[in-house]
Chain A
């Protein structure tokens, strides 16, 4: 069995495929007859100078292309509803992080069991490059669902987890959420997808997905560091 890279990207990819097949079929049954008619019913002086005035409607056909598309789109919408439910239902045992957007970066807080912040990572605004210093990467464990609680300090931003194919706005005064799970360790892109000003295209982050044991170490190790810097 092929390994799944990320959720909810897996279902998203399937949904796109379903749409694509339907779209290509509709395209074919519409465009091909159109092209055929254009070739066949061409104006020819002396031969075909006037169109068939009787062909100005047909209730049966018109009903057909009202009813069939209605059914098709309702089926698609219902299928999308089912996928949507999975995209919005955070699996049991998810780890929660708090992400706050600001102009133009992200502040990520890791919580303990009681909901206290144990560690904070802040990505600084970098207007010229897409390099991210090691300590500003958002580290998450592989193979574990992550629930992201989103909000913003200033204007609206949006948190797009590229490998997971999911985005949700970070709105000041509100808490929104999304969840994702990435199974393969590695580095992945996060982008701001709601227009937020001059730095919008440089409001990004690197997601560093590591094996769970390594994540546990990282979380502990850096906690000590954070404490020490607070003392100073």
Chain B
């Protein structure tokens, strides 16, 4: 496979892409696949939104709505919120930020991608009518074992392949970080993005098997007649929920922690100063990772679990606010005394932090069990997690795309399109999701394609759709910007933002063999956030 690595990505032929073991090419493939799926799932989301605009069934039937919603949820979470940026940016940036030649196991890395690709094919197969899965991404039994739920098996196999992919990636990344840092890169001068990436992958390594186990039992129940979850024969549907959320709650931190890493990198660069409280940031990341494993029952506050469990987990859940709070306060403090440049990656970052602040504050009512008893499974929850996952995350990724665009493609992302798309996404998302939260407080349940014409609900849903349209246009502008940057963007210098971080010390686009034959020289006082001269643009 050596020869494949010898060709830069822009002159690589199909065969080199397929057989490559180069972390940069694999990263690009991951991200492009994720982005395509994001676009499709986004279209699904728009259709859902149009259906909910007014009472009655106008656009799709309820059963097709359920398919679209299952697809939207599963693809947004697993393809966009995990694979696209962990597989994409994680692969691209990890070796570059620690001064390594590649990841520790390049061929395993290719296997990760192709397992992910296999899962993608399975998901595409569900587009065929008759193959629809309609049990929602959560797949709760006994419903998932019912004929109305569609072809459960597709979901199970997709999760298995994704699981293989995630576990291989986690082993690879953790080993790479432990064993392949250039001399001079230690725990306390590693980029915060890398700290976040490793924490996220540790969670993956511990959690993914649990999810795989949950869906495997689902499969056995549905097709082979076992009774793990069948109460009539001694099974228990709540067992599934416990095993499922034991991973799927920590999974939301797998999704968001690396985004926190993007925020930290970009915020420091465009404030031209070190991140405030670097050490407390590292502790916060690991604090979140640990607490994330003891809060899953907050997804089951109304499922009939004993009251003491609800109260106990209510306490552990609110504690997550502490490390996330530390991060937000540190980011704000980073701005103090900075020399702030509002380039589009910075706008996306500030917007993302703002969205996360609202998302965090609206997470508290879900954690306070007394309030959750009234909002559980309402549109409030949908609004809340679109603030954190939907939008803080997507804005983080968009910011990261623009920020590392020069290093990945060798060209600059068109700044004007970056700014325009930011404002559209930011304004649209706030209109969209804020109204959803209000509708939820007024009682509107989630996963409802139809609802009675309660006047407040109707008004809120109509405003919400206007927001979604603005958001949709914003996303399109962003995608156009990517194509424009790729085809006709300005040639990028090696270090356009004048950042001391290692990945910027090599050419743009990153050369095939990264730093050359020898690891890069890292000064004894190296720190990724030590800014000197102002940037060149």
Shortest distance between the CB of B118 and any CB in chain A (Å): 28
Counting chain A CB atoms within 10 Å of each CB, the highest count among B272, B374, B532 belongs to B374
Q: Select which of A27, A88, A130, A155 is within 8 A of B143 by beta carbon.
A: A155
A81 touches B314 (CB 8 A): yes
A197 touches B449 (CB 8 A): no
- Would A197 and B443 be within 8 Å (CB), given that A50-B532, A169-B302 are in contact? no
A70 touches B322 (CB 8 A): yes
Query: How long is the Cα–Cα vector from A148 to B338 in the complex, in angstroms?
Result: 59
A171 touches B374 (CB 8 A): no
Query: How long is the Cα–Cα vector from A19 to B453 in the complex, in angstroms?
Result: 29
Query: How long is the Cα–Cα vector from A44 to B371 in the complex, in angstroms?
Result: 47
Query: How long is the Cα–Cα vector from A87 to B357 in the complex, in angstroms?
Result: 29
Instruction: Check if A192 is an interface residue, CB within 8 A of chain B.
Output: yes
- Which residues in window 73-101 of A have CB below 8 A to B? 73-74, 76-77, 79-84, 87-88
Query: How long is the Cα–Cα vector from A56 to B322 in the complex, in angstroms?
Result: 20
Q: Select which of A12, A16, A171 is within 8 A of B237 by beta carbon.
A: A171
Instruction: Check if A185 is an interface residue, CB within 8 A of chain B.
Output: no
Query: How long is the Cα–Cα vector from A172 to B142 in the complex, in angstroms?
Result: 8
User: C-beta contact mask, B231-248 vs A, less than 8 Å → 1, else 0?
Assistant: 110011110000000000
Instruction: Check if A49 is an interface residue, CB within 8 A of chain B.
Output: yes
Shortest distance between the CB of A16 and any CB in chain B (Å): 6
Q: Select which of B302, B303, B338, B377 is within 8 A of A51 by beta carbon.
A: B338
Instruction: Check if B506 is an interface residue, CB within 8 A of chain A.
Output: no
Query: How long is the Cα–Cα vector from A221 to B407 in the complex, in angstroms?
Result: 79
- Which residues in window 225-275 of B have CB below 8 A to A? 231-232, 235-238, 271-275
B452 touches A189 (CB 8 A): yes
Q: Select which of A22, A62, A204 is within 8 A of B277 by beta carbon.
A: A62
User: C-beta contact mask, A148-169 vs B, less than 8 Å → 1, else 0?
Assistant: 0000001110101010011111
One of B22-30, B119-127, B154-162, B323-331 contacting the partner: B323-331
What residues of chain B lie closer than 8 Å to A38, measured between beta carbons? 335, 340, 342, 350
- Would A51 and B337 be within 8 Å (CB), given that A27-B357, A84-B311 are in contact? yes
Instruction: Check if B469 is an interface residue, CB within 8 A of chain A.
Output: no
Query: How long is the Cα–Cα vector from A19 to B444 in the complex, in angstroms?
Result: 20
Q: Select which of A42, A48, A53, A84 is within 8 A of B370 by beta carbon.
A: A84
Shortest distance between the CB of B237 and any CB in chain A (Å): 6
B148 touches A197 (CB 8 A): yes
Q: Select which of B143, B275, B321, B368 is within 8 A of A56 by beta carbon.
A: B275
Query: How long is the Cα–Cα vector from A156 to B444 in the complex, in angstroms?
Result: 19
Query: How long is the Cα–Cα vector from A98 to B279 in the complex, in angstroms?
Result: 56
A53 touches B365 (CB 8 A): no
Instruction: Check if B146 is an interface residue, CB within 8 A of chain A.
Output: yes
A57 touches B280 (CB 8 A): yes
B338 touches A169 (CB 8 A): no
What residues of chain A lie closer than 8 Å to B220, measured between beta carbons? none
**Can you name 24 A-B residue pairings with CB atoms under 8 Å?**
A12-B374, A16-B441, A19-B368, A30-B328, A30-B329, A31-B354, A43-B534, A49-B272, A50-B533, A56-B274, A66-B322, A70-B322, A77-B318, A80-B369, A84-B369, A155-B143, A156-B140, A160-B445, A167-B374, A172-B142, A193-B377, A195-B377, A198-B63, A198-B134
Q: Which 6 A-B pairs have the closest CB atoms?
A: A173-B231, A51-B273, A52-B337, A83-B370, A80-B368, A37-B335
Given contacts A69-B321, A162-B443, list 11 more A-B pairs with CB under 8 A. Answer: A12-B374, A22-B364, A51-B531, A53-B530, A53-B531, A74-B318, A79-B368, A80-B314, A173-B232, A189-B452, A193-B445
Binding site for A on B (CB under 8 A): 62-63, 66, 134, 136, 138, 140-143, 146, 148-149, 231-232, 235-238, 271-280, 302-304, 307, 310-311, 314-315, 318-319, 321-322, 325-326, 328-330, 332-333, 335-342, 350, 353-354, 357-358, 361-362, 364-365, 367-371, 373-374, 376-378, 441, 443, 445-454, 529-534
